[in-house]
Structure 1
Amino acid sequence: MKKMKIVTFLLILFFAFIGVYQLNPPAAAPINAPLAEFSSGRAMKHLEAIAQKPHPIGSPEHTKVRDYILQELTAQGLSPTVQKTTVVNPRWGTPFVAGTVHNIIARLQGTNNTKAILVAAHYDSVPNGSGASDDGAAVVAMLETIRALRAGSPLRNDVIFLISDGEEPGLLGAKAFVDEHPWAKDVGLVLNFEARGNNGASVMFETSSDNGWLIQEFAKAATHPVANSLTYSIYKLLPNDTDLTMFKQAGFPGFNFAYLNGVIHYHTFSDNLENIDQRSLQHHGDYALALTRHFGNLDLKDTKKSDCVYFDILGLALIHYPSLWVAPLTVFVVLLFVGVVVLGFRRKQLTFSGISLGFLAFVLSIVSASLIVTLTWWMIGSLHSGYKAFPQGDTYNSQFYMLSFVALTIAITSGLYVWFRKKISIQNLTLGALLWWLIFMVLTSVYLPGASYLFTWPLLFSLVGLGFIFADNRDCAKVKRLVVLTACAIPGIILLAPTIYLVFVALTLELSFVVMVLVVLLLGLLIPHLCLMAIPNKWLLPTASILVSLSFIVLGSLTAGFDASHPKPNSIFYGLNADTRKAIWASADKQPDEWTSQFLSKDTEQTKLAEYFPTVSRKFLKSQAPVVQLTTPLIEPLSNDVRDGTRTVRMRITSPRQARIIRIYLDSNTEVLGAALNGKKIDNYTSDRTASAKEWGFNYFALPKEGIELTLAVKPSQPLKLKAVDQSDGLPEIPGKSFPARPKYMMPTGFASGVSDSTLVSKSFTF
């Protein structure tokens, strides 16, 4: 029996490992792979060209990247066009996001088109990152997919390739395509590719609604599917957006793909060629090529069918069934649960008090593990203050802490069950835990059907195993029982282990306690195993788990520093208020470090910067700076008419120093009756002037040299007061002063509209 316990323990570890291991992307294909196949080796040649430097929208590098993509598309026999237009996206309210975009669009003609497939990715990066993963990998995957498609048989449907602009500041290119491009009406399916890290499997994490037919066909085409309806259900509840958001609003059916590991590199300088995992690029490409070929030969006129529940099994196959099955399955499992309980009582292996205590034991395990892990992470963060520099809430060595917290949760849970086992039988403890599983199953079935599979199937198999114990009614240490229990636990391990890992990657260390709830849930399926393996050395597992946890915390501490491969982020920017002729150095960091302290003097204060960001409530570090002679933004009135009680002012806004971004804010007392940018009406503007309302304004990206034209309709009874803040990349030269460059172990903080390593000039205007 002792050998059997060891084998059981190893089997549990094996299937947990396999469940997580399958989340690795497929092997990278070499540059000499067959021409009809996708090769990440060939795609990397393109990435080396477009991901050399940061290329945010409106920058000179951005133009170079666009020219390279156009050149490659033309070389592949396509006739790409550039959609240049002004876009205003009011999705997030005021200040609105706007800009001049240059979408790159090409079309591969099919033989008998029903509806076109739209393959989409964006080519702009954040200001302080070269965007090798976000979203360069998707762009070059598209270029290699085009080459492979042209090397194979022609498709039935047309394929439109949209390499969009301005995704980072606010989905501008996608909105431009949906609203204005004539090909938008031809789209029958969208494949959108993104990245939120620098490695890992490409996860199909979002679909459009009524996805039954889409998932059915996706299951046929994808060779290494990593997808589940849990991510789709949760993502719908989150405020996150990608270009697919715009496509879904337009009614396009579609899929969204992204690899998520290495979020610490997301939107930073370290999202570069050196850090990208070529296998993740390969997975992007495998999806793009296989799905384009599959859907390219289907009728895309009617793609909507009621939503379904889906999940992959070890990346080998995608299981899917209609959401209509959720209710019957739930009822069946509830009835099975009742039947097992009745059987347990008849065999005198269950008691009401025992089940109640088992129920309390499980919730105590969840609460204890969550609280202790949260406290542990707080202590680690206090010990290593550098971890707080990352806005993502993650670390370079997060895998050590993840393993530590999982081991700590196992120690806490197994230790509690050793204590409870003295007073409660294994059967009552198990049934008490499964009662929680039943509650979660019912709740998800009602409120989050796409997540119900995660509770339905593990609970179903566990009930079968527990029912077998009750029916057998002999010595619970028998080998046959342990074999049956282990077999019935395997489906739960296979489903939950990768889910735990993906949730951890998505939520980061900052929300580790949520992940530990899932770990305890998994352990709830293994209570019989934990109890049986505790005989006769009942404290062996808790003690060993504590030692493992401490070991990984030590490993985390030993690797907590920063170096050229793991740089520390920090920020600094220069601001000049042309109205007061005063200048500042400012930082979004919590405190100065050894490099930013050369800008931030001892009198540094933490305060809001209303003269530069009137609508931003966060505080910045601020210190006085030398005043540099910089050309200010300019607002020139073109016309000023008053009719029917409305004053309409038309003005031109320029940046003589050719800043890439300009921000316009109106005085909070001004009520806007109507507005337009370059003739584009701004809908959904905020006219509510309650105390909590933000000032009206917009952030304009890729400001043209000739400027933009703003038209405002306001009440004529008061003057029109505006504040213009233009923002250029790079810090100004300070006469008579030089500042050492960042050490190699540091990097500028990267954000889509971030201000680190930039120069802002603010000026007020009254008309």
Structure 2
Amino acid sequence: MRHVPRPAVWAACGLAFLLAWLMLQPRAAPVPTGPFVPGFSAARAQAHVQVLAQAPRPAGSVTNARARAYLLARIRALGLEPEVQVDTVSATSWDWMSHGQSTMATARNIVVRKRGGARHGAVLAMAHYDSAAPTPGAADGGASAAALLETMRVLQAGPPLDNDLLFVFTDADTVQAMGARAFMQSHPWAKQVRVALRFDNAGNRGPLELIDAAHADGFALDAWARAAPQPQGSSFMAELYDRLPQSAGAAPLATGAFPVLHFATTQGPLGREGMHDVPQRLSSASLQHEGETMLALLRRLGNANLALVSPPHGQVYFALPLAGMVHYDARLTWPLALLCCALGAWACRAALRNRISATDIVDAMFSVLFITICATFAAYLCREALPVLQARYPAAVLADDSGVRWQLAAFMLVPAAVFIALQRRLQQRLGVAATALGVLLAADVALVATCVRAPGASYVLAWPLLAGQAAWLVLMGARAWTPARRAAIAAAGALPALVLLLPAVCASFAFFTPAWLVLPSSLVCLLAGLCGMALDALARRWLVRPLLAGAGVAFGMAYAAVPQVPDLPAPNRLVYYKDTPSWQAFWLHPAGPLDAWTRQVFPNTLHPYPLPYLFGPDADPVWYAAAQKDDGIAWPGLVIDKDERSPRRRHVEFTLRSKNRAPDIVVRVQGACPWRTSVNGRVLTEKSCFSWRLALHGMGDETLRFAFDFQGDPPFLVYIQERIPGLPARDLPPRPPGLPPLLPLSGTTVAADVLRFP
């Protein structure tokens, strides 16, 4: 077979490396161009973020009430009449070992209606304004709420729309989306919604992406694809984002019979427990893109004929070069998979007719899987052999340093080089056709598994497989063609894999980071395998060495790039623990290195200690030191009301009232597990379990009446912890100069008690 000259091969390798490098560049939020047109202002939205994200604002806290008052005042200044929906909702989740986790929260949602002219239904736009306890929530909560407020201003100043617009600022949404549950379960306007838009950021820079369309229809997707400025996202990444905490925010909306689009900014890490989610790290370009997307969608849907909305069945969506955003009904996932399997069976029949043995086909399938494992293992070996890069990666991501892209490029090239080298050995042993068929059949199996577990990602395999199997069948039936024509067919069959798999590889690498290389490396190997016939026709030699050389250069550039981490407020993980049974108070801190300031709090503590009395027998060790009791922090107000015992059943009732108006209360039962639990008459669980825990949010000083039923007459303990943001500062040492300032209201005060039922 005639081969392309060596300079052309090197040029092709260089072009491929350049394309991969460009794919790894972070996608910046689009910057507006052209003359200024009055509309969404990121500067105004940033000012709202500065007010909302001054401190953590968990549901029920003083800072949460201040944020709500600010939003209400701004909305009324626009000439709209907001209402506050106050409702208590609950949810319980179970793991596979019957460990129960119940959540109960009082949400205080802000609900606003902008009347339309025709009133053919309502379009819902939702964002939450609360934050988790340890974080100011500038991006996660503050940005979307600020963007929604600024969008309301622009729409209120513009011409009226045909349909009603519902703006909902939810509360208690950082805990199983309790605010969204409250709106969907109790508010009468929820029944009038025809299309819902949810905004909830998981990052603080980059473009706004559609991260979930599993409960959408073609009408809503088409509106987004046509109206949004530079729409971003894919259903492949939506399957990965489903593992983010923010993904649960749209789950309550999916209970309705209307399409739901869930958006988020995903780039820019927020840090552990959101410790880096501060206003100074929020990108104005990202905020502008989020606001412009909100505005464009609400204008389009506000004037659309909502009668065209169809029952949502989910959408598969992705971007194609020159074609823009493509989407189709998720119900086509299985027909496409069956078509791929049918083509695979046809290819097997054609192979047998061309004297390719079934043994070689099966051998090729399992050999391809083994080669993929070897290539992934090689990537892991490189990662473990370079611990400096591995430790530097989080800092480089935080600083948006170029070393991140060099690392990801290197970890793409290493498995590609190993797979191609071993694939060529396999081609020499079994033949190019048998090896290619083994790759296609293994990918068919992977496609079926993907349709079961992650149907939104099926397009990454389905369309490349259709093209690859069609090209394989054409080449098997046209052996007399010239090498140039055969190479053109092989390249055409590999083109969909390059177009669809390469972006998926880059996005999955950026999502998982080098901490977990299985999926990205497997996709790299699949891409190389589907391009196997094209590589054999165009570049049989001189390909592996350039890839390895490129990996070496990328690793070297990653070493040369030293991230400059910006100065940020430091999180305070210190805990002031006031314990009723011992009538004492303690300073606690999670195990780990202590800075100079925290070390002063634990001057005589040599190492962390386990405290099973306070946190149970399986609790992690913590730093521990005695503290002075602060009388300004009240003990939990507990009263045992009833303890009815019999050999077959034990019924217990007690009352809890937080004099501290604690935003978060945790109740844990140890020694036995109740089969039935209720709070204020609301049944939470009615099944046997291995363990049970209850988290209460935003209950204030409401009197809570607990009722537990146990099988038999077991002894048990009930642990109660009231958690309050901030620390009593009077006994803390001054912070040494040179250390970064602490996040406001970070640290936690806990007032704890134990009820004993012998």
Relative to the length of structure 2, the TM-score reads: 0.84
CA distance in structure 2 between the partners assigned to 1:150 and 1:7 by the alignment: 56
CA distance in structure 1 between the partners assigned to 2:687 and 2:453 by the alignment: 35
Residue 362 of structure 1 aligns with an amino acid whose one-letter code is V
* Identity between Structure 1 and Structure 2 (%): 23
Is 1:732 the counterpart of 2:735? The answer is no
Determine the structure 2 residue equivalent to 1:684: 684
Determine the structure 1 residue equivalent to 2:753: 763
Determine the structure 2 residue equivalent to 1:527: 532
CA distance in structure 2 between the partners assigned to 1:197 and 1:49 by the alignment: 19
Determine the structure 2 residue equivalent to 1:243: 249
CA distance in structure 1 between the partners assigned to 2:212 and 2:594 by the alignment: 40
> 8 Å contact 1:15–1:494 — kept in the other structure?
no
- Residue correspondence of structure 1 range 280-429 to structure 2 within 5 A: 280-296=286-302, 297-300=304-307, 303-314=310-321, 317-338=324-345, 355-356=361-362, 358-380=364-386, 398-420=404-426, 422-429=428-435
CA distance in structure 1 between the partners assigned to 2:217 and 2:90 by the alignment: 30
Correspondent of 1:133 among 134, 139, 162: 139
Determine the structure 2 residue equivalent to 1:112: 118
> 8 Å contact 1:46–1:140 — kept in the other structure?
yes
CA distance in structure 1 between the partners assigned to 2:148 and 2:441 by the alignment: 48
Residue 56 of structure 2 aligns with an amino acid whose one-letter code is P
> 8 Å contact 2:411–2:551 — kept in the other structure?
no
Is 1:66 the counterpart of 2:64? The answer is no
CA distance in structure 2 between the partners assigned to 1:250 and 1:302 by the alignment: 13
> 8 Å contact 1:28–1:41 — kept in the other structure?
no
Residue 621 of structure 1 aligns with an amino acid whose one-letter code is V
Secondary structure in structure 2 of the residue aligned to 1:168: coil
Secondary structure in structure 1 of the residue aligned to 2:274: coil
Determine the structure 2 residue equivalent to 1:274: 280
CA distance in structure 2 between the partners assigned to 1:283 and 1:414 by the alignment: 41
Deviation at 1:724, TM superposition (A): 3.0
> 8 Å contact 1:128–1:267 — kept in the other structure?
yes
Secondary structure in structure 2 of the residue aligned to 1:712: strand
Residue 655 of structure 1 aligns with an amino acid whose one-letter code is K
Determine the structure 1 residue equivalent to 2:444: 438
Deviation at 1:154, TM superposition (A): 2.2
Determine the structure 2 residue equivalent to 1:179: 185
Is 1:27 the counterpart of 2:22? The answer is no
Determine the structure 1 residue equivalent to 2:512: 507
Correspondent of 1:693 among 691, 694, 715: 691
Distance 1:766 1:463, change over 3 A: closer
CA distance in structure 2 between the partners assigned to 1:500 and 1:223 by the alignment: 25
Secondary structure in structure 1 of the residue aligned to 2:581: coil
CA distance in structure 1 between the partners assigned to 2:67 and 2:541 by the alignment: 66
> 8 Å contact 2:27–2:206 — kept in the other structure?
yes
Question: Structure 1, unaligned stretches of length 5 or more?
Answer: none
Determine the structure 2 residue equivalent to 1:76: 78
Distance 1:225 1:610, change over 3 A: farther
Is 1:540 the counterpart of 2:535? The answer is no
> 8 Å contact 1:80–1:106 — kept in the other structure?
yes
CA distance in structure 1 between the partners assigned to 2:741 and 2:386 by the alignment: 21
Residue 512 of structure 2 aligns with an amino acid whose one-letter code is L
Segment of structure 1 superposing worse, 152-161 or 116-125:
152-161
Secondary structure in structure 1 of the residue aligned to 2:125: strand
The number of residue pairs the alignment matches comes to 742
Distance 1:192 1:674, change over 3 A: same
- Residue correspondence of structure 1 range 414-493 to structure 2 within 5 A: 414-420=420-426, 422-445=428-451, 448-467=454-473, 469-470=475-476, 473=479, 478-493=483-498
Secondary structure in structure 1 of the residue aligned to 2:683: coil
Residue 292 of structure 1 aligns with an amino acid whose one-letter code is L
Residue 26 of structure 1 aligns with an amino acid whose one-letter code is P
Distance 1:578 1:160, change over 3 A: same
Distance 1:40 1:473, change over 3 A: farther
C-alpha distance after superposition, 1:576-624 (max 9, x if no partner): 323224444333344545654444454323425552x45x944132323
Segment of structure 1 superposing worse, 266-275 or 642-651:
642-651
CA distance in structure 2 between the partners assigned to 1:607 and 1:742 by the alignment: 32
Aligned Cα root-mean-square deviation (Å) = 4.2
Secondary structure in structure 2 of the residue aligned to 1:169: coil
Distance 1:275 1:60, change over 3 A: same
Deviation at 1:307, TM superposition (A): 4.1
Secondary structure in structure 2 of the residue aligned to 1:117: strand
> 8 Å contact 2:24–2:405 — kept in the other structure?
no
Deviation at 1:719, TM superposition (A): 9.6
Correspondent of 2:259 among 253, 256, 259: 253
> 8 Å contact 2:672–2:691 — kept in the other structure?
no
> 8 Å contact 2:679–2:707 — kept in the other structure?
yes
Residue 9 of structure 2 aligns with an amino acid whose one-letter code is K
CA distance in structure 2 between the partners assigned to 1:183 and 1:210 by the alignment: 20
Distance 1:534 1:618, change over 3 A: farther
Determine the structure 2 residue equivalent to 1:622: 623
Deviation at 1:530, TM superposition (A): 4.1
C-alpha distance after superposition, 1:684-718 (max 9, x if no partner): 32563x6x323xx53333352x4433243658989
Correspondent of 1:517 among 519, 522, 541: 522
Distance 1:397 1:270, change over 3 A: farther
